Amino acid sequence: HRAGFVHRDMKPENVLIGDDGRVKVADFGLVRAVGSATATTGSVLGTVSYLAPEQIELGTADTRADVYACGVVLYEMLTGGKPHSGDTPAQVLYQHLNTDVPAPSAAVPGLAVELDELVAAATARNPEVRPYDAVALLALLREARAALGEEQLDALPPQARSGARDTADDRTSVIARAVPVEAGATDGPAASAGSDPHQVLLTNRLPAPEPAPAPGFRRLPPRGPLLLVLGVLLALGLGTGVWYINSGQFTRVPAVLGQTEAEATRRITDAGLDVGTTKRAFSDVYERGAVMAVDPAPGERLRGNGAVTLTLSRGPELVKVPNLKNKPLAEARRVLEEEGLAAGVITRKFSDTVAQGAVIGSDPEPGTERNPDSAVALVVSKGAPIDVPDVTGETVDDATALLQEEGLKVVVATERVHSPEAAGSVAAQSLAEGSRAAEGDTVTLTVSKGPRLVEVPDVVGESVDDARTALEDEGFEVEVKKSFPYLGSEVTGQSVEGGSTAPEGSTVTITIKGL
């Protein structure tokens, strides 16, 4: 079935068992490729007792028709008789279409329920609910076998031990299917079939005498039902050529060497296998990131949906640091990754020769050998330095224009502050005059609300030193005025009367009395 073929005539006569225990399915005269095993409008080839309902009614036969026949064979091996019988082949065919295969335990009380369920699954009249192919049926068979004890496996019904079988209807035959009859039609096979829409015509085509089994093989004996069906399914499920194999649950590992991890994973999962642990190793042959080894190796068989271990190339064992000077940072990162290295710490410096954002140099220097995945520190250019001009006291528009001419960006703070500068002018800038900035750096401007008004202290009668200290503590500038000749040290007057207000930072003049 995995090879894409349908046998179409499964029955005990076509099963050979070798003296060494090998099982072969014989007589492939009716085998068809799955895609070509489609409906035939005239007749159906097969053996009456083992035909699936869809073969009789529609003339179709895919892998599920073989599964149905295997279910009938298993029933026969368990009970010593066929599930459907009749005086004519047409009666047997009618039962296939309209009657479920009975439980084997109904004929042989005491058989395990697992065997009833297995037969029921394989012989379901609706092909959609049957196991899809021999491999699927094999899985069910193994589950049933695992649920049974040794005594149950060895127990055989008397009918099976006797070896007696009714083989009267076991010839491979040409079976004419009933087809719709047009009004007034009286001739032809369909007209002869009678009024029952499920009644069919059977014309026995006597085959040539069956050849004797090959040396070392014998026809299927009626004993060891589960083990024998196991062998039948193994032979049917996986073969062309010799038509048998030891197990139906193996998958060959696909060829994925040299592919990327993503490509290899896709091919392996498409084959029905899992990807296990991924390893990495050095390789001078395979590119970095490519699959350099597979375990199991490509072509080997792996049971069920087993896991495949991939080994990815890390590239050569030693890698030379590439020359990255003048490369943009993003490109430098990509080049390092392609070489099997990684970008490390990034520092930025001004450069009059290297464009802003490009690499000035690296540590280690170009040509140095390093292990794969080592980090390489990069020095990136900030471009030529810009001397920040002083724009305090300027209007916001003038300050912005001046800074932008230098290649700087300008942001104006939303909150204004009191300052000695006139209201609406620049009170402060984030980068002070003389600072070095890179092109595109941002300078934040703070706008003045004008000076804060402060109450002027009364310093008349105080000494010059005490008066100066009191005024400066409130944020005023102090100027001393003397009369000549100057002999006193006491303040006799001040330019702003004590107790009044004046702008913070403004000048207050104090007068010292002379002779």
CA–centroid distance for 411 within its chain? 47
Q: What is the residue whose two structure tokens read 């009044």?
A: 500
CA–centroid distance for 88 within its chain? 58
CA distance 75 to 111: 11
CA distance 282 to 288: 9
Q: Which amino acid is at 110?
A: G
**Which regions of 11-139 does DSSP assign to beta strands (E)?**
15-18, 23-25, 32-33, 43-46
In the annotation, is 9 catalytic?
A: yes
Of 9, 27, 66, 116, the catalytic one is 9
Q: Which residues contact 372 (CB under 8 A, 6 or more apart)?
A: 282, 288, 314, 315, 316, 317, 319, 340, 341
**Which regions of 265-318 does DSSP assign to beta strands (E)?**
274-281, 291-295, 301-303, 307-313
CA–centroid distance for 474 within its chain? 72
Residue 203: Cβ within 10 Å count: 11
Q: Which amino acid is at 318?
A: L
Q: Output the CA–CA distances (angstroms, integers) from residue 100 to 47, 68, 227, 386, 502, in the order listed.
A: 18, 11, 25, 93, 112
Sheet holding 43-46, edge to edge: 43-46, 173-176, 201-203
Q: Output the CA–CA distances (angstroms, integers) from residue 400 to 173, 428, 430, 437, in the order listed.
A: 101, 13, 13, 16
Q: Which amino acid is at 453?
A: L
CA–centroid distance for 177 within its chain? 49
Residue 494: Cβ within 10 Å count: 21
How far the first Cα of the chain sits from its last, in Å, is 131
**Can you list the pairs that 285-289 forms with residues at least 24 positions away whose Cβ atoms lie under 8 Å?**
285/313, 286/257, 286/258, 286/313, 287/313, 287/315, 288/313, 288/314, 288/315, 288/338, 288/340, 288/372, 289/260, 289/261, 289/313
CA distance 112 to 146: 12
Please give the positions annotated as active site: 9
